[in-house]
């Protein structure tokens, strides 16, 4: 087993363990911190896939913004969950059964997928230039439309979040 | 050296753990964290396929899809958290089951 | 390459040949040399911090018309070592109910987040940690790890005030990242790449001449990201107790202290690399070691300017700080970016006088327009007086009404 494979297995275990602890933690803050660790593990996976730009953007956007947002809102709503005990709701048995069945079914379907053998096990070398991605995003024949639509989505989300967070405050005054 | 199936298994398991978080957690923010885990699993899947199938001939579709998912996840987390905090201000609870004004 | 012109590459080659002579495989040699190099870099950074702390205290003292540390050694240069000995031997007091793992992880993560930046900075044309194509984005991303460290510190202390201090610090850091990222796009645009080596190599004319507004905005946001005065509202070390590192004592506090100073020096390094030309200077092609010297000189000048600002200006209030960021710096950064992009495309390429003059003129025009707009539209309105004047002592009626003075 080569060093890269060993590294991948360690990172995969870290990600899955942190994700499980996110689901099962009793305190909300611990859950948020395990979530941060899972996101950092995913950034390492992106770096293993030689998508370095996405690794850095994952740390910048997910860890540096979304995770901090989640931690902030956990802090703002701390009083609501301090004394109630269980982190899971009443239907946890049924949900666990469904997810386990899906896992088993997924594995069985995966093993019988013939096309899997067709993918090369060794990575062919890719010359990856970040400028190429930038050019593709603004080229009208390639990906300018998703880019522009995404920016409109961001604008809508920004305006919506400000209105939701702001408008109610004036109401309560 | 790392076969594609390993990445797919990892992303599948992460997706299922995220799904478990969405179904099980009482806290609304916990449900949101599950949704983010699901989106991350989809990202791993997309990037793995891009690298193994198209990476070496310059096709960038997988990457652009991943960028769109990044943006969607960020926007949805921001708006979702704003709504959760707004609901918390009204009803003083974030247990998702207790926000049931519209329940028949 | 001789020893004098380029000592580090010379030593690296010599070591490679030595270990190859012993029969070790090439990858093993490379891994060992990488580990050795990063160890020396980290050691150098930490040891240099002691000199920096002494310099800061001495300079700060002179600004405030007092001698500064002058007991321990000539001119007090061993003062930092004495402080280090004290901090090493102090007792660790862990507060009751503190979460062990976040509490102990936070100082290490804070220092690690700063040291990660040193891996991508080019110290000369041949001495750099690694040359990833996205070095600038890496530096910004690692700042996010520093914010997580602050949150861990605030949460792990089991102290309401530490938590509040941590959140205010993170709010400030996240807010000031926005103009920083926008402004950092301008050197990327002017040099055509996000890699630090390419940015330095493209600066035959330093970018501070081509984009002065970007330089000024970047400088301000760097000071704000460090949490230094005048943006040190969150630690306010003459008013509050200490913000998020209130419950730390001994070496853990020492780590936060080192992280603060190292971050300031690293910010000065980033500024000189991106805007002042890094290791460029006369005669650097023949003797790459000179690049190291030039970078050090430029960094020390920038650091001196940061210290001057620290010891001269009063600190901002939180609403003034947020005002400055969202109402002034972010729109200015966006305008500067759009204008630079336009002018950069319109003017002929290459480092000729037209391009330099054109970009400089556009920047100055933007500066004057901003000045006029600021003086016209943003006035310091007096804060409204919420309650009336304090009543004169009449008799049995006691009202405790404080008068709000206008800012």
Q: What is the pLDDT of residues C206-252, one digit of tens each?
A: 899 889 999 999 999 999 998 887 888 776 655 556 677 778 888 88
| Residue with token string 């310059």 | B58
Q: Show residues of chain C in contact with A75, CB under 8 Å.
A: 163, 167
Cβ atoms of C113 and C150 within 8 Å: the answer is no
CA distance to partner chain A, nearest, from residue C138 (Å): 6
Q: How close is the nearest chain A Cα to the Cα of B26, in Å?
A: 5
Q: Looking at chain C, which residue has its C-alpha nearest residue A57?
A: C141
A87: distance to nearest CA of chain C, Å? 19
Q: What is the pLDDT of residue B4?
A: 85
> What is the pLDDT at residue C77?
84
Spatial CB neighbours of C361, under 8 Å, sequence gap ≥ 6 = none
Task: Convert the pLDDT of each residue in A19-46 to its tens digit.
Answer: 999 999 888 888 999 999 999 999 999 9
pLDDT over 70 percentage in chain A: 84
- Please check whether residue A70 touches B, CB under 8 A: yes
pLDDT digits (tens, 9 = 90+) for B6-24: 899 999 999 999 999 999 9
What does the pLDDT look like over B54-103, one tens digit per residue?
766 667 888 899 999 999 999 999 999 999 988 888 888 788 877 777 77
**Whether the model pTM is above 0.95:** no
Find the angle CA(C359)-CA(C309)-CA(C407) to the nearest 5 degrees. Answer: 100
Torsion of Cα atoms, B71 then B75 then B76 then B80, to 10°? 160
With respect to CATH, is domain A1-82 assigned 2.60.120.10?
A: no
By Cβ distance, the residue of C99, C174, C193 closest to A68 is C174
C287 backbone dihedrals φ, ψ, rounded to 5°: -125, 90
CB A81 within 8 A of CB B94: yes
Distance from CA of C216 to the nearest CA of A (A): 23
CA angle A118, A123, A127 (to 5 degrees): 125
* Closest CB to A71 among C99, C144, C151: C151
What are the chain A neighbours of C28 within 8 Å (beta carbons)? none
What's the pLDDT at C223? Answer: 92
Inter-chain CB proximity A31 and B30 less than 8 Å: yes
pLDDT digits (tens, 9 = 90+) for A105-126: 988 888 887 766 666 666 666 6
In a mutagenesis test of the A interface, which of C100, C120, C137 is the best target, namely the one with the most A β-carbons within 10 Å? C137
Tell me the C-alpha distance between C239 and C233, whole Å.
Answer: 9
Answer whether A131 sits within 8 Å of C193, measured CB to CB. yes
* Residue among C148, C184, C196 with most chain A CBs within 10 A, to mutate: C148
- Whether residues C134 and A53 touch (CB distance < 8 A) is answered with yes
The per-residue pLDDT for A150 is 94
Bridge partners (DSSP) of residue B95 are B27
User: Which residues, other chains included, contact C211 with Cβ-Cβ below 8 Å and sequence gap of 6+?
Assistant: C186, C187, C190, C275, C336, C340, C359, C363
- Geometric angle at alpha carbon A158, from A152 and A159, rounded to 5°: 90
In this complex, the chains that touch B, judged by 3 or more CB pairs closer than 8 A, are A
Q: How wide is the angle at C-alpha A90 spanned by C-alphas A88 and A92, nearest 5°?
A: 60
What is the pLDDT tens value at each position of chain C, 407 positions in all?
567 777 778 888 888 888 888 877 778 888 888 898 889 888 988 888 888 889 899 999 999 999 888 888 888 888 888 888 998 898 888 888 888 888 889 999 999 999 999 989 998 888 888 888 889 999 999 988 999 999 988 888 888 888 888 888 898 999 999 999 999 999 999 888 888 999 998 888 889 988 999 999 999 999 999 888 788 877 665 555 667 777 888 888 888 888 988 999 999 999 999 999 888 888 777 777 888 889 999 999 999 999 999 998 888 888 888 888 998 899 999 999 999 999 888 887 776 788 888 888 888 889 898 888 888 876 666 666 666 667 676 666 556 665 555 54
Residue with tokens 């859950």: A31
pLDDT of residue C237: 59
pLDDT level of residue A173 (50, 70, 90 thresholds): very low
Question: Cis ω on the peptide bond leading into residue B40 (within 30° of 0)?
Answer: no
Q: Which of A64, A128, A130 sits opposite C144 (nearest CB)?
A: A64
Do B82 and A164 lie within an 8 Å CB cutoff? yes
Q: How far apart are CA C174 and CA C122, in angstroms?
A: 26
CB C332: neighbour CB atoms within 10 A?
23
**Number of Cβ pairs < 8 A linking chain A and chain C:** 56
pLDDT of residue C400: 62
Quote the pLDDT of residue A84.
65
Query: Tell me, what's the pLDDT at C286?
Result: 76
Q: Average pLDDT, whole number, for chain A?
A: 85
CB of A121 within 8 Å of any CB in chain B? yes
Q: Do A88 and B26 touch (CB under 8 A)?
A: yes
All domains in chain B, ordered by first residue:
26-96 (1.10.287.3510)
Residues from chain A that touch B60, judged by Cβ atoms under 8 A, are: 132-133, 136, 142-143
The single residue listed with the structure tokens 């960021």 is C325
Query: Which residue from A4, A98, A146 is facing B2, i.e. has the nearest CB?
Result: A4
Q: Residue C79 burial by CB count (10 A; 0-12/13-18/19+): exposed, middle or buried?
A: buried
Nearest to C256 by CA among C115, C141, C150, C159: C150
3-class DSSP state of C128: strand
Residue B46 and residue B55 in contact, taking contact as beta carbons nearer than 8 Å: no
Coil, strand, or helix at residue A88? strand
Pairwise CB contact (< 8 Å): B77 & A22: no
- Say if CB A52 and CB C136 are below 8 A apart: no
Gyration radius from chain A CA atoms: 21
Contacts of B43 in chain A (CB under 8 A): 42, 46, 54
Which residues neighbour C337 within 8 Å (Cβ) at sequence distance 6 or greater?
Answer: C182, C183, C185, C186, C189, C214
pLDDT digits (tens, 9 = 90+) for A68-81: 999 998 888 877 66
In chain A, what residues touch B55 (CB-CB under 8 Å)?
50, 123-124, 126, 128
């Amino acid at each position: 087993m080569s060093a890269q494979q060993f590294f991948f297995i360690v990172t995969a275990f870290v990600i899955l363990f942190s994700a499980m602890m996110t689901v099962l933690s009793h305190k909300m803050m611990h859950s948020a911190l395990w979530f941060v660790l899972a996101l950092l593990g995913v950034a390492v996976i992106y770096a293993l896939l030689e998508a370095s730009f996405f690794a850095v953007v994952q740390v910048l956007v997910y860890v540096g913004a979304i995770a901090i947002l989640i931690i902030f809102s956990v802090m703002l709503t701390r009083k609501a969950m301090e004394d109630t005990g269980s982190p899971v709701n009443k239907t946890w048995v049924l949900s666990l059964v469904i997810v386990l069945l899906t896992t088993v079914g997924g594995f069985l379907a995966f093993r019988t997928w013939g096309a899997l053998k067709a993918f090369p096990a060794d990575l062919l070398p890719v010359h990856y230039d970040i400028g190429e991605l930038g050019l593709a995003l603004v080229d009208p024949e390639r990906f300018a439309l998703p880019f522009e639509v995404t920016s409109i989505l961001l604008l809508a989300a920004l305006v919506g979040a400000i209105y939701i967070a702001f408008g109610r405050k004036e109401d309560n005054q | 050296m790392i076969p594609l199936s390993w990445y797919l298994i990892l992303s599948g398991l992460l997706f299922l753990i995220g799904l478990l978080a969405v179904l099980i957690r009482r806290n609304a923010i916990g449900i949101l964290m599950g949704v983010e885990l699901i989106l991350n699993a989809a990202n791993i899947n997309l990037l793995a396929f891009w690298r193994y199938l198209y990476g070496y001939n310059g096709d960038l579709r997988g990457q652009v899809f991943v960028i769109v998912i990044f943006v969607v996840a960020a926007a949805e987390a921001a708006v979702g958290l704003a709504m959760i905090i707004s609901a918390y201000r009204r009803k003083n609870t974030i247990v998702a089951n207790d926000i049931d004004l519209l329940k028949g | 390459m001789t020893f004098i012109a380029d000592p580090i590459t010379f030593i690296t080659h010599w070591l490679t040949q030595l270990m190859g002579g012993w029969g070790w495989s090439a990858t093993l040699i490379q891994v060992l040399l990488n580990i050795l190099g990063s160890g020396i870099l980290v050691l150098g950074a930490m040891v240099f911090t002691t000199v920096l702390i002494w310099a800061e205290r001495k300079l700060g003292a002179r600004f405030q018309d007092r001698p500064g540390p002058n007991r321990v050694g000539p001119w007090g240069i061993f003062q930092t070592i004495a402080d280090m000995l004290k901090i090493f031997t102090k007792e660790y007091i862990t507060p009751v109910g503190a979460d062990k793992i976040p509490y102990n992880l936070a100082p290490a993560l804070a220092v690690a987040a700063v040291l990660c930046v040193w891996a991508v900075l080019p110290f000369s044309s041949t001495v750099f940690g690694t040359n990833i194509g996205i070095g600038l984005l890496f530096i910004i991303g690692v700042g996010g790890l520093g914010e997580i460290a602050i949150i861990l510190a605030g949460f792990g202390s089991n102290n309401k005030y530490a938590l509040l201090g941590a959140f205010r610090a993170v709010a400030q850091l996240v807010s000031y990242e926005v103009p920083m990222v926008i402004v950092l796009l301008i050197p990327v645009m002017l040099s055509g790449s996000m890699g630090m080596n390419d940015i330095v190599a493209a600066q035959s004319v330093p970018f501070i001449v081509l984009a002065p507004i970007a330089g000024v905005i970047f400088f301000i946001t760097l000071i704000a990201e460090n949490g230094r005065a005048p943006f040190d509202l969150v630690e306010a070390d003459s008013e509050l107790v200490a913000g998020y590192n209130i419950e730390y004592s001994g070496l853990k506090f020492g780590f936060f202290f080192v992280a603060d100073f190292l971050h300031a020096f690293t910010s000065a390094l980033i500024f000189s690399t991106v805007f002042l030309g890094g290791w460029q200077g006369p005669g650097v092609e023949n003797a790459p070691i000179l690049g190291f010297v030039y970078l050090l000189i430029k960094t020390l000048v920038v650091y001196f300017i940061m210290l001057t600002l620290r010891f001269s200006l009063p600190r901002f209030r939180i609403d003034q700080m947020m005002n400055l960021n969202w109402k002034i710096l972010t729109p200015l950064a966006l305008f500067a970016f759009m204008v630079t992009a336009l002018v950069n495309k319109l003017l002929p390429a290459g480092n000729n006088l037209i391009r330099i003059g054109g970009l400089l003129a556009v920047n100055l025009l933007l500066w004057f327009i901003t000045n006029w707009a600021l003086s016209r539209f943003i006035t310091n309105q007096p804060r409204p007086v919420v309650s009336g004047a304090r009543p004169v002592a009449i008799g049995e009626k006691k009202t405790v009404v404080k008068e709000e003075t206008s800012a």
